[in-house]
Structure 1
Amino acid sequence: MDLSLNISQFLANSGSDENRASAIVERFANQIHSRDIKLIDLIKALGDYLTAEDDLLRPKATQCLSGTLNSLKKDILTPNDISVLTGFYVSKLEDGQCTKETLYGMSSLVDMDSFGPSNLDKVLKGLMEQYDSTKNLASTRYYGLLTLQRIFTKFVNYLIQMKKDKLFIECFLHVASGEKDPRNLLLSFALNKDISSSLNLESFEDELFDILFCYFPISFKPPKEDPYKITQDQLKGSLRSAIASSSAFDKDSYPNLLEKLSSTSPSVKRDTAETINACIANYGQKSLIEHWLEIWNAYKFEVVHGEPDDEEIGVYQSLLNTFTEISKVLTSNEVEFDQFASTLLKDLKESFQNTKTLKQTCLIFGAIAKANNIAYNKAVKLVLAQLLVKTDGLNVREERELIQNLGVFTSAYKDVYGTTSSPKLQDYNNGLKDFKDQILILLGKSLMGSSQVEVSLRTLAITELTNLTTLSDFLSNSELSLIAQYFTETVLMDDNEYVFNSAIGGLAQIAQLDSSVLVEVTLPTLISLLPDADEPVRINGQDKPKEKIFDVIVSISTGGALVNFMVIRLLNKLEQLQTTLADPVPYSFLILSSLQKIITTSESSTQFSTDTLFPSLVKLIHLLLKFPSLNQDDAILESATEILKLIVVFSSKSFHQQLSDDTLSFFTGLPVANDDYYKDLEPINVFAEPTPLINILSKVLAGVNKSVSINNVDSLINKLVEFIKTSSFQDGYVRISYLRFLSLIINKWNCEVSKYENITFDSVLSLEIYTWITKGVLLRIDPKSETFIDVLVGALSDTSLGAMAANSFEVLVVDLSIFEKFKKILNNNVRLLYKQKFFDLVVPKLVEGFNGNDDMKIKSNYLSALSHILKHTKREIINPHLPSFFPLLLQSLNLMDSEVRLASLNTILSSVGEVSDLITSHISSLIPKLLALAQSDRDHLNTEPVRLAAVNCLHSFAMALPLQKVVPYQKEVIRELTPVLDDKKRSVRKGAIDARQAYYELGRTVE
């Protein structure tokens, strides 16, 4: 092998072809690994080049050697190799043209396994005597610092044991002096920290500190093209850690830092405070004892006269954190901590009589209290004894300020002792408990004894009482009940939105802590207030709407015990009303809709289960079957059966098979084998004649797990189809209920749907049956879905049934409660992406059908079908297809259907920003249509929502479309919207004002 030839190739290419040069270096390294050549042979082959007079050739040769060395495994070189190379690199430090390559190789050499302590003196002395960092670029200086970092990491114990600290520190000071590059500074700061925290600094404290503090505060802003992505925060954090690394710096760091505290820059103030905090935490107690008074004297004015509520970057909080850090360190020395706290109290005593500085004083002691339980108890006893010396005769402002100041110490309590949900430390004799009675009396008086016009005071009292309930091991059960009573009376009597919502939040918090308190205190009170007649609630001589009581009940009834309690009590109330009221419908609906909300709200709670509600399910079924007022009203029945469904959905699967069997038997007129659910009730055959009670069967089966089996499901479907075809439905709700049930059975239990493909459309009813079967098939994305959809699309061209077929497309995409999906519950076969799949499938077919027909009546069927689909489809699904059907959308604005018009307008409105080019290309036809739709019309098709949507579309054009495209229509829009300023609806008038103003300002510049 001709090694000299290979080296010549490297040197020839290293300046122009880095990839080729790297490949040759890698080849050298591989040959040394495989013992094909020795490193000494490589050095010999490079010999002439390494010493050549050519200033370009020497660096290339040194780079070749260093690159090869960096590519080697760490165990490949012998101690003799290391010794030779160390001597070589030290000698090369004199060559200013090769410094970077030399330091690069030296840093790699230090990392080798065989690099031992015997080589250290040569390297360190060589760097001190022959290397001048000020004459080199940042990339070169980096390798000098890297070499020292690797030496420290590898030989720190040796440096300490063999008293080499001085030599290493001197070398570091020499190498790091005058550094300015951010990447190098990170390395320098980190190395300074390691030195200061590990080595014997002897007489180097001042120099090591000076080489750090000259950079404080960091004002570095990273350049846009910074390849290392170094941030200002990284530099600040690294410098802070280095300054705080050794208590030997304290005589310099504290005076210098406290001087910086007088800066007018908020950023410098915060950085200074955070660095002081780091020093306090790391220097230790001995250092702090000498300096805490100095710190306090420097901080006093800043914190006492600062603005705690006017800090965007956290300066004031950083200053307060200093007192927390001091307290953490001093509390292990009781004498020193007492002296510290007493000094602050003495200096701040006048602040307790000065409302301008009282808040700041409390914040200072609150920061002390956050340190630990010793500091907390000391601070609380010192301050609260002053704060609570007089609580009577306060005006509203003084009372409010006192509560705010007390809140500082309840907040600190959480830091030290934790909350009820996350306790930290148990201390039955903590300082706050000594003042608990006074605090409760004060807060109770502020809430219950103040005028209702004092909204801020009452809201603040509720907030602080709620905070007390969250404190770990603080309130007794009786005290928690007392607070619950306060909140209950407040929500009943106070109609102010802020006070009411705060009290509701407080009750909800108590419910999370101990629901039994609400079961014993709040809920019985609320239930007892519900009247026996359909009349307002009477509270303390005032009439309040019943809805308010139900709003409170719904808001606080979360979790199993509360839900169970309210369901039982409200069903009892519901039963009572049926026998005492002539018209119980309105009141009954209020109860049932509230029960539905309670269960729906609670379903998101952890491990929500309705197993204990099964007796209530039975009772509700009995009530629905017994009282016509409950089963003859559509809204009541819908709400009541939703409750049944929810109870079933969130119950254990073990109940579902029997419940399904019994319910199906009962409602098909068969005797029920088990008496658990339908005891003492005569079976009902929903196939004897149309009855709204089909909804009970439908919702119960909608709730059971889909693993439940139904015998002879095909027979049930056939019976259902035949019944719907042959029955005379007097009520549209009942007809839809049977169709929904059909769709549910198809979706949940029937897999052989091909037999229903060819239903003959001999009537509107047969089309409806086919539509609902299609929905059940489509929801589970059955392979036969497209076949069913094709049939319905084909029906759009039917002259007699086309309009009805168009309406059927709304059925396919509308969300129904019987097909509601619940997290981790498999109660149906609804696929999450079914709408997207359906939209992708059907839109091209509708566009094709529209374009393929000349009859405008048939065309309108396709437009109507599309609009019905758009009404219930998310924008994310619509937008990718918008260009293909946008012309249809424009024509649908002329259809004699306000819902279709509104759906089309909303689609256009939501698309303006995303497909502005498409809108722009149709602007000439769009603007006249929108102006017409913004006006009231004789046929009342331009409803308020339609008119408002049209105006909003016009407004969005002015804001989102290219100026040159909209300006030509400026005068026309302003003129045609003038009559709309007199619209009967305020929302439309305001929309027209905003739109006209936007067009008026088109093309105008602000001077």
Structure 2
Amino acid sequence: MESLWFRSELAEEVKQSKDVFKEIDNIVTDILDGRLDIVKLVENMAGVLTDKEAENREKGIKFFNKILQKLPKNYLNDNQVKFISQFYIDRLKDHHRVIPAVVEGFLIIIDMKNYNIMQTQDFFIVLFREVACQSQVRQDRFNIYCLIQNIFNKDHKYLTTLGPDFLYGFISSIDGERDPRNLLFLFTFLPTFLREVPLGHLVEEMFEVLSCYYPIDFHPSPDDPAPVTRQNLADSLCPCLCAVPEFAEHCLVLLVEKLDSSLRVAKLDSLELLRESCNIFPVKAYEPFLKTLWSSIRRELSHKADDEIKMMAHKALYSLVSKLSTSSNTDQVFETFVKGVLISMQTEIAESKTVAQFIQASKVLLTTANASKESCIIITKLMIPAVIAYYEFKPSSKLQIASIDFLGELFALAKNWEVLTEIDNQLKEIPQFCLAVASNPSKDYQIAGFKNLVLVKDVLDSHLVLPFIEILMHNVQYSHDEQLFNVSVDTIHAIGRKYPEMVMELVVKGKCDVYNMTINKDILNKHLKLLSNLASIDYFTKVIFSEMIRNINDSNEVAGKVIKAVNITISNSSLYSEQKLKDIESDYRLIDAILGWLSKTIYTESQEVLTNGYDLVANIMSSLPSEKQIDIISKYTEDIWRKTEKEEVYFNIIECLYRSLHQNVYSVKHSDIMRFSLNLSLHSNDNAIRSKACMLAATLLNKSELGQQFDCLYNVLNDLLSHSNEKCDSPRLLILYGWITKALIMRGSAEFTPWLQKIVSNMSSPEHCKPSSSAIRVVVGDPMCNLGPKQHSRLVFMYKQRLYQNFSVLTSNMGYMCPEVKNAYLTSWAYVLQQVPKSILNNDAAKLAPLVIDSLELDNKNLLLIMLDVLSHILQNRHLVLTGSLQTILPRLVRLSKFEKCMDVRIKSLQCLYIAACVYPTFFLRPHKQDMLLDLETTLDDSKRLVRRNAVKTRTRWFMVGAPGEAKEV
């Protein structure tokens, strides 16, 4: 028997039976196989499509839509698409109940390959005439907007041919939209639409429709699982209001008006709108508004209580100046505006009574200067001499120092914009000014003067070198202030790069007397730090290192001091690059000299001095290529190994040679060194040697090649531990387990799991929980100091996430915990959470929240500092998981705000209380408001200023909870 859809009875079946919808796949199959023509199908459905009951007509169109949706987009030919399109257009005149299904159908048909865009005009004419968009439900309005967007994406040029009738209909259809999701869709689509489809005489109408939403005043429902936020809407509305130059006058009038509003969000949105508009509007559009704009921006730049508004005002000023600078060669608008800013801020600087007032005005000038090359020239050319004159008027010492810092910032901007030539006359005044400042015996003045000289060293005249060197060397030799000493060394280094010959005679061969290092011990240490710093400059390297090597080889009383100074300086990569270290080792055989000195003095020198020698060897080895490393370990290993087997103290030399080897460097001694390291890690009575032995064993295991090398070392590890007399729960063994776990997980080996399990299994014991926690700390500790890139270790991607997941699984079955175990357990979690990426804290907030809440009860400073940071992150991301526990969290945070043992705990707890009051809806916070205000009162009298400042900020925010117009954002 012929199927129902081949006959006119289909119409009645669609009206009467829901089961007919199950036949849609079969109908589509018959259409695709050519047994049924889609036009014939429409004719068979005529009875339901033209039924007198609107409900039946709606059902018929929905049935047809589902069939159409399942057809391939290239199946229907031109005539069929045209026929169906006309059918939908005619149906737009139908009952209001039918129209949503018609729009859904048209959305499907316009996506067909053979759809003729020219038919859309008729559809829009009928749609805008017959359908009141805003009287439809949310989803139907959204479908209309999607339809317009799809047509736009298909051929936006076609829409420009439809004329003002289409635009008027479109504007009318979106006018009055209130749903946040629909608005977000429109605001996202409209900027592109407005740029491509000219509005003609409807500019004002379109802007009025958009501007009624400005500024966005909207708060999502707390029950919404995926809410559209106020900020989402504000961010998407802003580009709409300044989408095209034609909006310029309307937009600028609006934002000027809203900038004067007392509403905080209005100010923020207006400043952002101004910044965004500078990318679109022409300079001419701003001319009538510049005085008003500057007045409003200036007011917000001086905002005392709201840093966010102040920052947005700086961004807006930057964008405005940058925009105006594009007309600097054609009119005076730009220069007039910049000079207006300059005069205003000069007045504020002159009237400043405090450093904060001075810095506030100077930052405005720096923002203006940084906006463009042209503004930089204007500001720096006038302000450099003005700042020098300001200093000479002798305001307070703090203001003088602030003016010196400002001068350096102006120079840095000029250098960044490459306008030094344009302000050459002004720059020449700075070095002489720096000399006058540095001549002041006050430390703060000298540091400020020297820092500025380092910046402007390229314009330093040679006749000023000697007076500067006299002051600087006096500081190097006699100053007991470390900061002043370091700044003085950096300044001599900078002068040495500009005038190397003069510094060689005045400093290296003169004041420091590099050929005769027998002066006062304290002064010698300072001279050596300076000389090792200058030795990084090629001009000084040979003279200085030749003398240093001679002293090391002589093993005299100066050698240890030389090694210490070189080790400290050589670790600074900004001074000594890898290539520089390679060259020094190649030219002067520094490792030979240090190893010789270590062998002679290993029993006579202090451990601190020897440690500098070990670290210096490791640092130099790290910079050498594999071939050179192989030569050095081949040369020294056998001799040192024989000594090490007899006296463990020589292990320190083995460790520093093998610590920083490349991954492809392997010697026959690796397995012996591995076994010896493991033995020392368990049985040595020297804490330092035990630690180094653990690290070296981990280093060898981490860097060994997969295959025979790795298997050999791993077998040595298992063999030694299986025969060890050490108890499986001994603290030394647990620490070793930590290093083994660290080495394996960092290289991506799956072998780390049983070692981590050994640590976790001991954590449930009160006797062993503390060393187990220490072992976890070893595993998650910063690898940069022992298993990092400098040591050429293997480091796989996402190893921290892998550790987190395994630790989470292994600790999930821990039952009852006594106080000692609970403390160690939570401390271990803190160590893990301190290192994991923030994305994990976001994804697993529900699982981690109980751990954080329990930690707030303990009296462990290190644990609290970490967990408060975790809590702060969870709060900032507005996880509602914490709202059910506020009655527990808030009192604990209040208690910690009075934590006597640590100021940072008090500050972080207050910050968490502040964030909570900012991010959570008022109805969650209101029950706790009065208790919080009473409990926080005592924190206002804290002995530490930083705590008091956070206490005032937090209590003020809680006072505002529930107040009209309260700020909701952090």
Do these two structures clear the TM 0.5 threshold for a shared fold by scoring above it?
yes
- In the alignment, the residues of structure 1 paired with residue 692 and residue 255 of structure 2 have an alpha-carbon distance, to the nearest angstrom, of 80
Matched, 1:255 2:256: no
Q: Which residue of 2 aligns with 1:924?
A: none
- In the alignment, the residues of structure 2 paired with residue 198 and residue 636 of structure 1 have an alpha-carbon distance, to the nearest angstrom, of 73
Structure 1 unaligned segments of length 5 or more: list them: 418-425, 539-545, 669-684, 725-729, 755-775, 798-804, 825-829, 851-862, 894-903, 916-949, 961-985, 992-1003
1:317, distance to aligned residue in structure 2 (A): 1.4
- In the alignment, the residues of structure 2 paired with residue 465 and residue 174 of structure 1 have an alpha-carbon distance, to the nearest angstrom, of 65
- In the alignment, the residues of structure 2 paired with residue 70 and residue 649 of structure 1 have an alpha-carbon distance, to the nearest angstrom, of 65
Which moved further from structure 2: 609-618 or 339-348?
A: 339-348
| Structure 2 CA distance for partners of 1:8 and 1:450, relative to 1, 3 Å | farther
Q: Please point out which of 234, 237, 249 is paired with 2:235.
A: 237
Amino acid at match of 2:246: A
- In the alignment, the residues of structure 2 paired with residue 228 and residue 741 of structure 1 have an alpha-carbon distance, to the nearest angstrom, of 48
- What does the per-residue CA deviation read over 1:625-675, in whole Å, with 9 as the maximum and x for residues that have no partner? 5x457767666556534533443343222234443443356569xxxxxxx
Q: Which residue of 2 aligns with 1:370?
A: 370
- What does the per-residue CA deviation read over 1:291-329, in whole Å, with 9 as the maximum and x for residues that have no partner? 424232343264168416754212431442353244233
Q: Which residue of 2 aligns with 1:128?
A: 128
* Bigger Rg, which one: 1
- In the alignment, the residues of structure 1 paired with residue 752 and residue 509 of structure 2 have an alpha-carbon distance, to the nearest angstrom, of 46
Q: Which residue of 2 aligns with 1:150?
A: 150
| Structure 2 CA distance for partners of 1:328 and 1:428, relative to 1, 3 Å | same
SS of equivalent to 2:58: helix
1:42, distance to aligned residue in structure 2 (A): 3.0
Structure 1 segment 44-193 matched on structure 2, within 5 A: 44-94=43-93, 95-160=95-160, 163-190=161-188, 192-193=190-191
1:377, distance to aligned residue in structure 2 (A): 1.9
Q: Please point out which of 622, 627, 633 is paired with 1:654.
A: 627
SS of equivalent to 2:74: coil
| Matched-pair contact (CA < 8 Å) for 2:321–2:334 | no
1:96, distance to aligned residue in structure 2 (A): 0.4
1:177, distance to aligned residue in structure 2 (A): 1.6
| Matched-pair contact (CA < 8 Å) for 1:368–1:375 | yes
| Matched-pair contact (CA < 8 Å) for 1:778–1:785 | no
- What does the per-residue CA deviation read over 1:374-406, in whole Å, with 9 as the maximum and x for residues that have no partner? 332234334445544554342324423533554
- In the alignment, the residues of structure 2 paired with residue 320 and residue 821 of structure 1 have an alpha-carbon distance, to the nearest angstrom, of 52
What is the root-mean-square deviation of aligned Cα atoms in Å? 6.0
- In the alignment, the residues of structure 2 paired with residue 512 and residue 110 of structure 1 have an alpha-carbon distance, to the nearest angstrom, of 71
Matched, 1:327 2:329: no
Structure 1 segment 245-644 matched on structure 2, within 5 A: 245-285=243-283, 287-288=284-285, 291-300=286-295, 302-303=297-298, 306-307=301-302, 310-313=305-308, 314-341=311-338, 353-355=350-352, 363-384=363-384, 386-389=386-389, 391-395=391-395, 396-403=397-404, 405-406=406-407, 409-410=410-411, 412-413=413-414, 417=417, 426-427=418-419, 429-431=421-423, 433-449=424-440, 451-452=442-443, 455=444, 461=449, 464=452, 495=480, 536-538=521-523, 570-575=548-553, 578-579=555-556, 584=557, 589-599=560-570, 602=573, 607=578, 610-612=581-583, 613-614=585-586, 615-624=589-598, 627=600, 637=610, 639-644=612-617
Structure 1 segment 870-881 matched on structure 2, within 5 A: 872-874=775-777
- In the alignment, the residues of structure 1 paired with residue 597 and residue 639 of structure 2 have an alpha-carbon distance, to the nearest angstrom, of 15
Amino acid at match of 2:582: D
SS of equivalent to 1:158: helix
- What does the per-residue CA deviation read over 1:339-398, in whole Å, with 9 as the maximum and x for residues that have no partner? 444566677775575437876665555444333323322343344455445543423244
| Structure 2 CA distance for partners of 1:844 and 1:88, relative to 1, 3 Å | closer
Which moved further from structure 2: 510-519 or 368-377?
A: 510-519
- What does the per-residue CA deviation read over 1:230-260, in whole Å, with 9 as the maximum and x for residues that have no partner? 4433432332222212222233222222111
- In the alignment, the residues of structure 2 paired with residue 201 and residue 490 of structure 1 have an alpha-carbon distance, to the nearest angstrom, of 71
- What does the per-residue CA deviation read over 1:578-619, in whole Å, with 9 as the maximum and x for residues that have no partner? 44xxxx4xx655544454444555499875674332511122
| Matched-pair contact (CA < 8 Å) for 1:557–1:598 | no
TM-score, normalised to structure 1, is: 0.64
Amino acid at match of 1:137: V
SS of equivalent to 1:64: helix
1:126, distance to aligned residue in structure 2 (A): 0.6
- What does the per-residue CA deviation read over 1:529-549, in whole Å, with 9 as the maximum and x for residues that have no partner? 9995695525xxxxxxx7667
SS of equivalent to 1:180: coil
Q: Which residue of 2 aligns with 1:781?
A: 714
| Matched-pair contact (CA < 8 Å) for 1:809–1:865 | no
| Structure 2 CA distance for partners of 1:521 and 1:83, relative to 1, 3 Å | farther
1:265, distance to aligned residue in structure 2 (A): 2.4
| Matched-pair contact (CA < 8 Å) for 1:284–1:329 | no
| Matched-pair contact (CA < 8 Å) for 1:362–1:383 | no
Q: Which residue of 2 aligns with 1:947?
A: none
| Matched-pair contact (CA < 8 Å) for 2:300–2:313 | no
| Matched-pair contact (CA < 8 Å) for 1:29–1:71 | yes
**Number of residue pairs matched by the alignment:** 806
1:97, distance to aligned residue in structure 2 (A): 0.3
Structure 2 unaligned segments of length 5 or more: list them: 781-802, 833-857, 869-899, 906-930, 936-970
Amino acid at match of 2:4: D
| Matched-pair contact (CA < 8 Å) for 2:325–2:372 | yes
SS of equivalent to 1:245: coil
Percentage of matched positions with identical amino acids: 13
| Matched-pair contact (CA < 8 Å) for 2:462–2:499 | no
- What does the per-residue CA deviation read over 1:955-985, in whole Å, with 9 as the maximum and x for residues that have no partner? 99xx99xxxxxxxxxxxxxxxxxxxxxxxxx
Amino acid at match of 2:294: Y
Q: Which residue of 1 aligns with 2:783?
A: none
| Matched-pair contact (CA < 8 Å) for 1:323–1:364 | no
- In the alignment, the residues of structure 2 paired with residue 110 and residue 667 of structure 1 have an alpha-carbon distance, to the nearest angstrom, of 82
- What does the per-residue CA deviation read over 1:133-153, in whole Å, with 9 as the maximum and x for residues that have no partner? 231112111122222223333
Q: Which residue of 2 aligns with 1:910?
A: 827
Q: Which residue of 1 aligns with 2:196?
A: 198
| Structure 2 CA distance for partners of 1:118 and 1:869, relative to 1, 3 Å | closer
| Matched-pair contact (CA < 8 Å) for 1:327–1:337 | yes
SS of equivalent to 1:537: helix
SS of equivalent to 1:337: helix
Amino acid at match of 1:134: Q
| Matched-pair contact (CA < 8 Å) for 2:763–2:773 | no
Amino acid at match of 1:653: S
| Matched-pair contact (CA < 8 Å) for 1:197–1:246 | yes
- What does the per-residue CA deviation read over 1:245-283, in whole Å, with 9 as the maximum and x for residues that have no partner? 222223322222211110112331121122233334312
| Matched-pair contact (CA < 8 Å) for 2:454–2:491 | yes
Amino acid at match of 1:611: K
- What does the per-residue CA deviation read over 1:31-52, in whole Å, with 9 as the maximum and x for residues that have no partner? 5444443322332233222233
| Structure 2 CA distance for partners of 1:519 and 1:45, relative to 1, 3 Å | farther
1:112, distance to aligned residue in structure 2 (A): 3.1
| Structure 2 CA distance for partners of 1:165 and 1:528, relative to 1, 3 Å | farther
Amino acid at match of 1:100: P
| Matched-pair contact (CA < 8 Å) for 2:731–2:771 | yes
| Structure 2 CA distance for partners of 1:781 and 1:352, relative to 1, 3 Å | closer
Amino acid at match of 2:370: K
| Matched-pair contact (CA < 8 Å) for 2:440–2:446 | no
| Structure 2 CA distance for partners of 1:607 and 1:251, relative to 1, 3 Å | same
